[in-house]
C-alpha cells in the first residue's frame, strides 16, 4: 500500500519483540507478524514458505521496492533485494537472509512511516552521518509560535498530569535556539494530541495492545493520536511515553525518518528513553533555515 505522506498519518507500528531476543519492550506481547518472522528464520532466495507474502507486504509498506505479483510464498530475487536494502538501512549485514539480527530489528517497536527517505537532506556533509529526511514537498509551519492542547475520546491510561508533563518536556526539547515556542491552551490550537481506541474517526483505527502505538500528520495538520490500549509508562517498564512524544512531534514539525542509529527520528523504538541527536537538530535547522 502506497502512502501519500501529506495526507496519510504516520502510523507507529509496534512489532513487539519475543524470545530469544531479550531487548523487547517490557510487557509487550508477541504479534502475528513476529511469529511469522520466527517461522521464516534462515529463509533465503529460492526457498518457499508460508509467510513470505506477509514479509513482502511489510517491506513494501516500509518503502522498499517489491513485486506483489510474485508468488506469495516464493522468496524470490525481488524479496531478497528488498530485504538487503532494509538490512543496509538498519546497519545490518546485507545477507538477504531472514537471519536473527534481521528478525530482531524487524520485531522492534517502530514507526509505520516508510524507512526510505522521500527527500534526503540537502547538501549533506560528506564527513558526517546526516541522514534526516523530509515529507514530500518539505512542508513546514509558517510560524514559530505554536499552540497545543489535549483532547481524548477515551480516558487517559496515564495520569493526565503525567501526560501533560511528558508532552511539555518533549516540546521543550524540540525548541531550537528559542525559535519555536509551544504554548498549551484550552481551545483552538495548532496541535491537538490525545488518546483514542479502535476506530476513532480519522480512517486509521488502532488495533489494541502491541499493535499501532500512535500516529501523527505532517505540517500543518497538527493531529497526534496515541493508542490508549498500549502499556504506556513515564517512569518504568512499558512504552516510554516521552520518547514516543519526541518522535511524533518531530513528524508534526516536518521531519521524516533518519537512519542514524540513536536519533530520535530513527524509525525503530528500542525500548529505552531517547532524546535528540545532532542529526535531529540539523534536520530541523535545515528545514526551517535557521
90 is in an annotated binding site: no
The residue ranking higher by pLDDT, 127 or 19, is 127
Domain ranges of the chain: 29-107, 119-288
Asked whether the predicted pLDDT for residue 268 surpasses 80, the reply is yes
152 DSSP 8-state letter: -
227 is in an annotated binding site: yes
Question: Would you place residue 171 in the very low, low, confident or very high pLDDT band (cuts 50, 70, 90)?
Answer: very high
State the residue for C-alpha cell 508532552.
167
Q: Which architecture, in CATH terms, is 29-107? A: Orthogonal Bundle (1.10)
Specify whether the CB–CB gap between 159 and 118 falls below 8 A. no
Q: What is the pLDDT of residues 10-30, one digit of tens each?
A: 444 433 332 333 334 544 557
Query: Which of 80, 242, 248, 266 does the annotation list as catalytic?
Result: 248
176 is in an annotated binding site: no
Per-residue pLDDT, averaged over 239-266, amounts to 94
190 is in an annotated binding site: yes
Instruction: Please report the DSSP string for 65-122 in residue order.
Output: ---TTS-TTB--HHHHHHHHHHHHHTT-----S--HHHHHHHHSBB-SS-SS-SEEPS
Q: To the nearest whole percent, how much of the chain has pLDDT over 90?
A: 61
Q: What is the pLDDT of residues 31-65, one digit of tens each?
A: 788 899 999 999 999 999 999 999 998 898 888 98
CATH topology of domain 119-288: Collagenase (Catalytic Domain) (3.40.390)
210 is in an annotated binding site: yes
Q: What is the per-residue pLDDT for 72?
A: 82
Across the chain, mean pLDDT equals 84
Question: Active site includes 242?
Answer: no
How many CA atoms lie less than 13 Å away from 234 in the CB half-sphere? 16
Amino acid at each position: 500500500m502506497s502512502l501519500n505522506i501529506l495526507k496519510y498519518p504516520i502510523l507507529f507500528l509496534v512489532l513487539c519483540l519475543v524470545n530469544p531476543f531479550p531487548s523487547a519492550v517490557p510487557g509487550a506481547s508477541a504479534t502475528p507478524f513476529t511469529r511469522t518472522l520466527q517461522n521464516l528464520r534462515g529463509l533465503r532466495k529460492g526457498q518457499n514458505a508460508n509467510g513470505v507474502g506477509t514479509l513482502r507486504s511489510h517491506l513494501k509498506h516500509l518503502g522498499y521496492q517489491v513485486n506483489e505479483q510474485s508468488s506469495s510464498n516464493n522468496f524470490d530475487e525481488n524479496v531478497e533485494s528488498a530485504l538487503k536494502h532494509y538490512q543496509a538501512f538498519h546497519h545490518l549485514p546485507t545477507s538477504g537472509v531472514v537471519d536473527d539480527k534481521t528478525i530482531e530489528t524487524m520485531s522492534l517497536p517502530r514507526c509505520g512511516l516508510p524507512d526510505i527517505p522521500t527527500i534526503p537532506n540537502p547538501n549533506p556533509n560528506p564527513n558526517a552521518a546526516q541522514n534526516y529526511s523530509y515529507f514530500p514537498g518539505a512542508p513546514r509551519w509558517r510560524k514559530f509560535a505554536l499552540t497545543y492542547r489535549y483532547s481524548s475520546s477515551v480516558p487517559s491510561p496515564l495520569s493526565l498530569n503525567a501526560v501533560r508533563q511528558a508532552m511539555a518536556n518533549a516540546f521543550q526539547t524540540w525548541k531550537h535556539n528559542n525559535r519555536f515556542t509551544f504554548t498549551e491552551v484550552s481551545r483552538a490550537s495548532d496541535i491537538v494530541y490525545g488518546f483514542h481506541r479502535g476506530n476513532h474517526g480519522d480512517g486509521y483505527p488502532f488495533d489494541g495492545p502491541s499493535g499501532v502505538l500512535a500516529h501523527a500528520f505532517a505540517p500543518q495538520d497538527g493531529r497526534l493520536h496515541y493508542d490508549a490500549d498500549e502499556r504506556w509508562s513515564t517512569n518504568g517498564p512499558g512504552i516510554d511515553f516521552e520518547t514516543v512524544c519526541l518522535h511524533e512531534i518531530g513528524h508534526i514539525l516536518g521531519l521524516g525518518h533518519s537512519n542514524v542509529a540513536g536519533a530520535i527520528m530513527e524509525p525503530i523504538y528500542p525500548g529505552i528513553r531517547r532524546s535528540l541527536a545532532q542529526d535531529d537538530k540539523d534536520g530541523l535547522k535545515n528545514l526551517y533555515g535557521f
